[in-house]
Amino acid sequence: MIRVACHLSYRVSYACCYVLVQITDEFGSFDKYCWSFVNYKPIVSKFRYPRQVPVKSPKADVISKDLVKRGFRSVGPTVVYSFMQSSGLTNDHLISCFRFHECVAAASSSADEANDAKRNINTKVEEKTDTEVKVEAPL
């Protein structure tokens, strides 16, 4: 019985790894996949009271449905929203919290760096296409 349970556990973990590899192949990394849902910029919420902080959001619903479609399990909107909070995709610090302004400043600087990186990638692509060998049409 234990042997069967270990085998099933192995197959489940292998399936999760396979899904992660597919996402990495498509987006470059799981990080880029996650940040693509929020346009590479953290969502800043301005809550005054703890009761205002939601347990899920429409964005978490979208991410959850996409993860389930790709083969993940146990990734409901509440779990995904919790992941969004812990990974910095959304800033739900109360505005009275001492970390709120630090997180907003860090988010704006990381968004600027992401935009700079996008511009650098675009210019590299343009440079590459400008220097490619021109093919002439046959006579």
The reply to whether 124 falls in a domain is no
Backbone angles phi, psi at 91, to 5 degrees: -105, 105
Give CA separation, 54 vs 35, 37, 71, in Å: 20, 18, 26
Query: Which structural domain range is residue 22 located in?
Result: 11-117
Tell me whether residue 132 is in a domain.
no
CA 49 to chain CA centroid, nearest Å: 27
For the segment 78-107, the average pLDDT, to the nearest whole number, is 89
- Overall number of domains in the chain: 1
Is residue 136 one of the residues assigned to a domain? no
Say yes or no to pLDDT of 10 above 80: no
Say what the pTM is: 0.68
Q: Worst-scoring range by mean pLDDT, 27-31, 78-82, 94-98, 103-107?
A: 103-107
Residues placed in the known binding site: 93, 97
Q: Give the domain CATH number at 29.
A: 1.10.340.30
CB-based contact 26:72 (threshold 8 Å): no
Return binding residues for Zn(2+). 93, 97
